[in-house]
A and B are shown apart, each in its own frame.
Chain A
Amino acid sequence: MIDSATLARLSLFADLESPQLLAVSELMDEESHPREARVLRAGISGTNFYVITDGEAAVRVDGKDVARLHAGDFFGEISILTGDPVLADVVAASEELRLAVLPGSRLRPLLLEHPALALRMLETMSRRLRATTLAG
Chain B
Amino acid sequence: MNDVDVVVVGSGPGGLQTSYFLSRLGVAHVTISADDAPGGMFRKWPIFQRLLSWSKPDAPFPRTSREYEWFDHNSLVAEEPELRGLVPTFMDRTWAVPSRAEMEAGLAAFADQAGVAVRYGCRWTGTRREDDGRLVLETSEGEYRCRAAVFALGVTAPWKSPIPGIEDVPHYAETGDPSLYAGKRVLVIGKRNSGFELADGLLPWAQRVLLVSPRQPEISVLAHASVRVRYFQPLEDSALGGGTHVLDAAIERIERAGAGFRVLASGTTRPGDFDLECDVAIAATGFSTPLVDLEELGVRTVAQGRIPAMGPFFEAADGVYFAGNATQGAAGLKKRGVGASSPAVHGFRYNARVLTEHLAERLGVRDRQRRPVDDLVSFLAAELAGAPELWAQKGYLARVVGLDGPFDDGIQPLEHFVDAAGPDAVAVTVEMDAEGEIFPVVYVRRGGAIREVELEPDPLNAFDSEPYRHELSLLLNGKER
A-chain residues with CB within 8 Å of residue B267 when the two chains form the complex: 19
- Which of A33, A46, A102 counts the most chain B CB atoms within 10 A? A46
Are the C-beta atoms of B335 and A23 separated by less than 8 Å?
no
> What's the minimum C-beta distance from B450 to chain A, rounded to whole angstroms?
6
Interface string of A13-49 (1 = CB under 8 A from B): 0000011101101110111111001100101111110
Are the C-beta atoms of A30 and B214 separated by less than 8 Å?
no
Are the C-beta atoms of B215 and A45 separated by less than 8 Å?
no
Q: A31-B331, A41-B418, A45-B335 are in contact. Are A19 and B249 (CB under 8 A)?
A: yes
Report how many residues on chain A are interfacial, defined by Cβ distance under 8 Å: 35
B452 nearest CB neighbor, chain A only: A44
> What's the minimum C-beta distance from B260 to chain A, rounded to whole angstroms?
24
Are the C-beta atoms of B419 and A38 separated by less than 8 Å?
yes
The interface-forming segment of B15-23, B200-208, B299-307, B383-391 is B299-307
Are the C-beta atoms of A30 and B335 separated by less than 8 Å?
no
A104 to B301, CA, bound (A): 23
A37 to B339, CA, bound (A): 19
Q: A3-B162, A31-B331, A43-B452 are in contact. Are A26 and B215 (CB under 8 A)?
A: yes
A1 to B304, CA, bound (A): 7
A27 to B217, CA, bound (A): 11
Are the C-beta atoms of A19 and B337 separated by less than 8 Å?
no
Are the C-beta atoms of B452 and A103 separated by less than 8 Å?
no
Are the C-beta atoms of B214 and A19 separated by less than 8 Å?
yes
Are the C-beta atoms of A46 and B336 separated by less than 8 Å?
yes
Is B334 in contact with chain A by the CB < 8 A criterion?
yes
Are the C-beta atoms of A41 and B451 separated by less than 8 Å?
no
Are the C-beta atoms of B451 and A43 separated by less than 8 Å?
yes
B-chain residues with CB within 8 Å of residue A41 when the two chains form the complex: 333, 418-419, 450
A41 to B418, CA, bound (A): 9
Are the C-beta atoms of A29 and B303 separated by less than 8 Å?
yes
Pick the residue among B252, B309, B337 that contacts A103 (CB under 8 A): B337
Are the C-beta atoms of A105 and B301 separated by less than 8 Å?
no
B-chain residues with CB within 8 Å of residue A3 when the two chains form the complex: 162, 304
> What's the minimum C-beta distance from B160 to chain A, rounded to whole angstroms?
13
Are the C-beta atoms of B302 and A32 separated by less than 8 Å?
yes
B-chain residues with CB within 8 Å of residue A25 when the two chains form the complex: 214
Is A2 in contact with chain B by the CB < 8 A criterion?
yes
A-chain residues with CB within 8 Å of residue B302 when the two chains form the complex: 29-32
A41 to B449, CA, bound (A): 11
A3 to B161, CA, bound (A): 9
Are the C-beta atoms of A105 and B434 separated by less than 8 Å?
yes
B329 nearest CB neighbor, chain A only: A32
* 16 further contact pairs, Cβ within 8 A, besides A18-B252, A37-B311: A19-B266, A20-B268, A29-B303, A41-B450, A43-B451, A44-B418, A44-B450, A45-B335, A46-B333, A46-B336, A46-B431, A48-B334, A48-B337, A96-B300, A101-B334, A105-B434
Residues of A with Cβ closer than 8 Å to B?
A: 1-3, 5, 18-20, 22-23, 25-27, 29-34, 37-38, 41, 43-48, 85, 96, 101-106
A selection of 30 A-B contacts at a CB cut-off of 8 Å is A2-B303, A2-B304, A3-B162, A19-B214, A22-B250, A22-B268, A23-B250, A23-B268, A26-B214, A30-B302, A31-B309, A32-B302, A34-B311, A37-B419, A38-B419, A41-B419, A43-B450, A44-B335, A44-B452, A45-B452, A45-B454, A46-B335, A46-B336, A46-B395, A96-B300, A102-B337, A104-B336, A104-B434, A105-B336, A105-B434
